[in-house]
Structure 1
Amino acid sequence: MNPLSCVHMAQIRAIAGKEFRDRIRNRWVLAVSIVFAAFALATAYFGAAAQGSVGFQGIEPMIASLVSLTIYLLPLIALILGFDALVGERERGTLNLLLAYPISRAELLIGKYLGLAGALTCATLAGFGLAGVAIVARAPSADWYQYAGFVVSAVLLGWVFLSLAVSASAFCASRTSASGIAIALWFFFVLVYDLLLLGALVVTGGAVLGPLFPLLLMLNPADIFRILNIFGPGDLHTMFGLVSVFPAALAQPVFLGLVMLAWIAAPLGLAAWRFNR
């Protein structure tokens, strides 16, 4: 039976609303918003301190610094937020109680994901949004659009890693193993993947992997996030590494946005299949 064949929006909204309200009550959204805002403001005003200057130095260097920071921080927060979405309910003994209600497993999974995604989105928009108002209030309108594009891409990045976390939660038998998988996913996509790709390119001289390079980059959502932010109104190509040689013809925001949505849907579909079993 298709796990998505009997899905009702009313049940999904109820689960998502409860999950979202729980995060609001425990001040999780407020705490993460403050962290994002503090890091964004500190990066904007003190990012050039090593060169002997402080203050807003322009949108391009600011976004370059924020992209590097966001790639490390946001996936980790998303993974921590979602790794126990299902396995935590199982360990607390509340999963069977939830499934005793007139709700399907797919509705529970989707509702939990949407509730957590809503909380993460609010934290991201509030943190980076408030910082953005303070930073680009007197900047040209082109800078506003570029910063808004960064914020939207950051939201998508958070959704991807939250989807990966929920999928890990569906496959693991304990919170301990789920947390280990979540940390492993963070290390692989944020720290290890590009090193392996660069090493493979050096070893092969680019002859084998060169034509496949754009596809290989799209197998890492963190790289897609970088690409989305270097092909904007400003020129950020020189501020990044591997992604700076990505062909501009493939760096269309709509196309890359669809790839990010596929990255969200695939782990959720895998989680639905596993959870239904």
Structure 2
Amino acid sequence: MLTRILAVAGQEMRIGLRNRWIVLATLILAAFSLALALLGSAPAGTLGVNRMTITVASLASLSVYLVPLIALLLAFDAVAGEIDRGTLLLIFSCPISRMEFLVGKGLGHFAVLTLSLVIGYGVTAGLLMAVGTGSSAGLVDFVRLIATSAFLGLAFLAVGYVLSAAVRQVSTAAALAIVAWLVLVVLYDLALLGALVADTEGTFATRIFPLAILANPADAFRLFNLAALGASDLVGGMAGVSDALPFPPEAALAAIAAFTLAAFGIAVALVRRITP
């Protein structure tokens, strides 16, 4: 079983290298993180906060937008692409279960995404340490950011597999991936903000809003990372929110894990119903 999963994962890694996915994702992450580190950390002196902490807080907000998009672009053709190329029948004729096939895909894509995050954000962390504006605590913040960003990416990889297994055309899967990113990352927060503004009695803010934060992996990721920073009340604006919620910020990680498992389970069920 493990051999078959690793074979699929290795194939996805080779595809990622051949299609320059790793290079492209790494360049995007490195370019944005370096820009934030060099140009967006000016408030560090006035706030009395470590420059790396400011950078990590900015990157946490950036990751909410970039990482899900990269993950969805990696995953949208995982199943639909195999159907479109006519290779799915060949794959399923081999002694590999459909769950093993999807787990292998996920492992390969997760490795591509994690490698890009380590290199892209690692370059920024190394630069800050080299110029003397870093610290050991800031380095720990960077490691936590990279790990949780990869965790967030895994959740959106699972979403991509659901969309890819639900349709048979790559173009349709790509369009659905963009729609999913727009809804979960952009429109979801706007809807929450609108509901909070319209909530005159406070019922939504006290009962529904905390659960809504956990229901979306992007919001759960941002909550955990900004609340985990020692100066999140100064640079992230999330300390007050996390203190008002009826659960610790660590619950956000459990919510992301539950979301990922649920989405992956749906994807496996959809793949099992496919007749190549």
Give your verdict on TM over 0.5: yes
Structure 2 residue aligned with 1:161: 156
Query: Structure 1 residue 190 and structure 2 residue 194: aligned?
Result: no
Contact 2:98 2:271 in 1 (8 A): yes
Query: By how many angstroms is 1:61 displaced?
Result: 2.2
- Taking the TM superposition and a 5 Å limit, the aligned residue runs for 1:178-217 are 178-205=173-200, 207-212=202-207, 213-217=209-213
Contact 1:168 1:182 in 2 (8 A): yes
Q: Name which of structure 1's ranges 24-33 and 211-220 shifts more when overlaid on structure 2.
A: 24-33
The secondary structure found in structure 2 opposite 1:101 is coil
Q: AA paired with 1:261?
A: A
Structure 2 residue aligned with 1:229: 225
Q: 1:122 to 1:206 in 2, by over 3 A?
A: farther
Contact 2:221 2:253 in 1 (8 A): no
Q: Tell me how large the CA RMSD over aligned residues is.
A: 2.3
Q: 1:110 to 1:203 in 2, by over 3 A?
A: same
Structure 2 residue aligned with 1:4: none
Structure 2 residue aligned with 1:133: 126
Q: AA paired with 1:262?
A: A
Q: AA paired with 1:32?
A: A
CA distance in 1, matches of 2:196, 2:238: 10
Query: Structure 1 residue 116 and structure 2 residue 112: aligned?
Result: no
Contact 2:242 2:248 in 1 (8 A): yes
Q: AA paired with 1:184?
A: V
Structure 1 residue aligned with 2:248: 251
TM-score, with structure 1 as normaliser:
0.88
Alignment partner of 1:68 out of 36, 58, 61: 61
State the identity as a percent.
36
Structure 1 residue aligned with 2:258: 262
TM-score, with structure 2 as normaliser:
0.88
Name stretches of at least 5 consecutive residues in structure 1 with no aligned partner.
Answer: 1-7
Q: AA paired with 2:191?
A: L
CA distance in 1, matches of 2:205, 2:164: 36
Name stretches of at least 5 consecutive residues in structure 2 with no aligned partner.
Answer: none
Alignment partner of 2:170 out of 163, 175, 196: 175
Deviations 1:170-223 (A, max 9, x none): 111211221121111111111111111111122122522122222110111111
CA distance in 1, matches of 2:156, 2:115: 16
Deviations 1:142-185 (A, max 9, x none): 11111211111111111111111111101112112211211111
Contact 2:37 2:124 in 1 (8 A): no
Q: AA paired with 2:61?
A: S
Query: By how many angstroms is 1:229 displaced?
Result: 1.4
Query: Structure 1 residue 38 and structure 2 residue 31: aligned?
Result: yes
The secondary structure found in structure 2 opposite 1:200 is helix
Query: By how many angstroms is 1:49 displaced?
Result: 6.8
Deviations 1:52-74 (A, max 9, x none): x9xx9712321222122222211
CA distance in 2, matches of 1:126, 1:146: 16
CA distance in 2, matches of 1:156, 1:82: 15
Q: AA paired with 1:234?
A: G
Query: Structure 1 residue 147 and structure 2 residue 172: aligned?
Result: no
Contact 2:74 2:109 in 1 (8 A): yes
Q: 1:183 to 1:243 in 2, by over 3 A?
A: farther
CA distance in 1, matches of 2:160, 2:153: 10
Structure 2 residue aligned with 1:3: none
Aligned residues: 266
Q: AA paired with 1:36?
A: L
The secondary structure found in structure 1 opposite 2:12 is helix
Contact 2:72 2:157 in 1 (8 A): yes
Query: By how many angstroms is 1:252 displaced?
Result: 3.9
CA distance in 1, matches of 2:220, 2:20: 31
The secondary structure found in structure 2 opposite 1:173 is coil
Contact 2:76 2:177 in 1 (8 A): yes
Q: 1:180 to 1:244 in 2, by over 3 A?
A: farther
Alignment partner of 2:78 out of 85, 102, 113: 85
